[in-house]
A and B are shown apart, each in its own frame.
Chain A
Amino acid sequence: MKTDAAFRSGHSQDMAACAASIAMKHVPLLTVTLAIIIFWYAMCIPMNAVLTAPKIVAAGGGFANTLIFSWSEGRPVLPSPHQVFREIWNTVFAVEPWAIKSLVYHLWITLSSTLVGFLMGGLLGTALAIGIVHVASLEKSLMPWVIASQTIPILAIAPMLIVVLGKTGLPDIFTKASISTYLCFFPVTIGMVKGLRSPDVMQQDLMRTYNASSVQTLWKLRLPASLPFLFASLKVSVAISLTGAIVAELPTGAVAGIGARLLNGSYYGNTLQIWAALFVAAFAAAMLVLLLSALEKYSLKRMGTKA
């Protein structure tokens, strides 16, 4: 019979085995992450040399001094990972979330316009796709414009859009969100045109034998069939929607938002602030994509898709 202690140690062995198996699963990812961090630390040395060289010499040179000064420069060209991490810690966790210094506050400003733009872009993209699939002439007349719209660099068109829309008296958030919408609708249109056309000839013939109206065919056949395509498009859209929201903050000289932090950081040469903002934005985008993946899994499961 096992003693209590033996039982507990057996239990902890199980836990260790479990942790090991999780670690094993992520070995490839961890390896790449580690390689990137090592490369990053290494690059700090030559990138910051112009600032740190005199200090290293003054301190008597040597490898240890090189590392210390390269990785702890106050206004580095390339901040080291732990400096960025500390900056994120200080601006995310160590301040109240509504403080002007807090990245949570700035992220919220950017995210709200991201989500409004994403929603409008998703609806616009779907509406365009429905039009294109149902009206043959729309494909010829609209599709070239849809594609052309994406060949214009967003940085070029954003200031003009914002100025024009700013004059219409719409709330500011819509003006900002319009840039996200502009980027977002495109993948949705392309994906949904394909998705709405994905039912095979037999399924379309079936609806014909029922004398189904095109609205019924849309609701009962085309839209459900297009759902996997929609989710694939939305995952692309939500990430570029965030990019759009950040870009929209640049030309207005916004005082709040991730874009404002980037602008502010570059005015004052505060690279730490820029990198922290970038990482937080990237993390937010990844979370949005993950959220959509979970939603996709859930809804496809509800639709009886084979597991």
Chain B
Amino acid sequence: MAAKVISAQNLGLIFQTADGAVEALSEITLDVNEGEFVSLIGPSGCGKTTLLRAIANLENPTSGRLTVNGLSAEAARLARAYGYVFQAPALLPWRDVNDNVRLPLEIMGFDDMAGRVSRNLALVNLAGFEKKYPWQLSGGMQQRVSIARALAFDPKLLLMDEPFGALDEIVRDRLNQQLLELWGSTKKTIVFVTHSIPEAVFLSTKIVVMSPRPGRIIDVIEVDLASQRKLEIRETPAFLKIAHRVRQGLKAGHSYED
């Protein structure tokens, strides 16, 4: 039995806005085990990003229990338990690729920064781009730099918030393939937010389907596809069957408002 990395029990989060209280998360109960690749999927406003941010201690749940590595989310953040990849690359424009990946290492005071930077840039196939500035790179390359940056200090947990959402389909396919290889070689635990069904099925060992108003989990699907996947797997019946179940879940969550 693999160790529990994330455990959420009856998690609730209510935002106080000018228009009144908004229930962003309601009764979320979810476990993520070590080495899993878990996707959170759902339409806009279903709370998938909020859940990820709560795990990262960037939002504070208003009820329920949440532990990361057995610690509170805040203690886990203070212990630098995870690497976070945002929707946009969020690179610092005045730092070149090398120095952007160095940023967390400088802050955390690592030795052997050069070695870590070059290892992780190689991992995202960006060796040789060290001296480029972010504006000289394509969107896909920038996002790969931000993944290398998140991996630089070797966290066991990687939290990714729609990292490829702004990229075109061809680039996204290639990055999905690379991410899967990276996951296979590094044995990280990954929580991945997306609103693309093929992306979720292709990448995940577990898919969490969410629904809005209030944000809640309506289905958890174990994906029993082979762990060595190629893009062609998306044409197979097993893949389509899982994709169909995800789609059904998303539809069920939506039905009441049409």
Contact = CB atoms under 8 A, between A and B. Distances in A.
B56 A306 contact: no
Interface residues of B, number: 26
A202 B86 contact: yes
B90 A208 contact: no
A209 B94 contact: no
Contacts of A266: none
A216 interface: yes
Interface in A214-232: 216, 220-221, 224-225, 227
A206 to B, nearest CB: 5
B192 interface: no
Contact of B80 (A205, A207, A210): A210
Contacts of B82: 209
Contacts of B108: 210
A305 B134 CA distance: 10
B209 to A, nearest CB: 26
A171 interface: no
B215 to A, nearest CB: 20
Contacts of B107: 207, 210-212, 216, 220
A205 B58 contact: yes
A303 interface: yes
Contacts of A207: 107
B56 to A, nearest CB: 6
Chain B interface, >50% SS class: loop
B94 A211 contact: no
Contacts of B15: none
B86 A206 contact: yes
Contacts of A203: 90, 92
B133 interface: yes
A224 B95 CA distance: 10
A210 B135 CA distance: 24
Given A210-B108, A212-B107, A205 B86 contact: yes
A222 to B, nearest CB: 11
Interface in B17-76: 56-58
A62 interface: no
B77 A224 contact: no
Contacts of B58: 205, 208-209
A304 interface: yes
B106 A220 contact: yes
B93 A304 contact: yes
A216 B56 CA distance: 20
B92 A224 contact: yes
A200 B86 CA distance: 12
B104 interface: yes
A206 B78 contact: no
B88 interface: yes
A209 B77 contact: yes
B79 to A, nearest CB: 8
B84 A209 contact: yes
A212 B30 CA distance: 29
A112 B31 CA distance: 68
Interface of B: 56-58, 77-80, 82-84, 86-88, 90, 92-96, 103-104, 106-108, 133, 135
15 contacts: A202-B87, A205-B58, A206-B84, A206-B86, A209-B58, A220-B92, A220-B103, A224-B94, A225-B92, A303-B94, A304-B95, A304-B96, A305-B93, A306-B133, A306-B135
